[in-house]
């Protein structure tokens, strides 16, 4: 049976919404309120999909996004990769 891979970008941070051009890269930033709300909407959309695992980078915003999605689903574990 074929497997499906879902790629989800991390939620918004204050740097994402800042019009000032910046190099963001691996700067440790948390999700802002809009990022949290949008990630909750994404989690709700994905709620009826069965996932075998969730992988994310170690960057805070990616981990927060993964943790929100996991908390709103039946997924019981999270693996982190870089």
Q: Is 50 annotated as a binding residue?
A: no
Closest CA to 13 of 64, 67, 78: 64
Residue 39, both tokens: 């990630």
Q: Is 35 annotated as a binding residue?
A: no
pLDDT band, very low/low/confident/very high, at 82 (cuts 50, 70, 90): very low
The owner of tokens 């709300």 is 37
Q: Is 9 annotated as a binding residue?
A: yes
Query: What pLDDT does residue 28 have?
Result: 86
Residue 26: is its pLDDT beyond 80?
no
Residue 50 vs residues 17, 35, 64, 78: alpha-carbon distances, Å: 32, 23, 20, 14
Residue 64: is its pLDDT beyond 50?
yes
Range with top average pLDDT, 17-26, 30-39, 70-79: 30-39
Closest CA to 62 of 78, 45, 46: 78
| Mean pLDDT for the stretch of residues 31-55 | 91
pLDDT band, very low/low/confident/very high, at 47 (cuts 50, 70, 90): confident
Q: Is 26 annotated as a binding residue?
A: no
């Amino acid at each position: 049976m074929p497997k499906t891979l879902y790629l989800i970008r991390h939620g918004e941070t204050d740097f994402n919404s800042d019009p000032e051009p910046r190099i963001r890269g691996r700067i440790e930033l948390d999700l802002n309120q809009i990022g949290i709300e949008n990630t909750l909407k994404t989690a709700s959309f994905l709620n009826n999909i069965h996932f075998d695992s969730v992988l994310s980078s170690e960057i805070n915003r990616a981990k927060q996004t993964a943790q929100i999605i996991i908390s709103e689903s039946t997924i019981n574990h999270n693996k982190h990769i870089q």
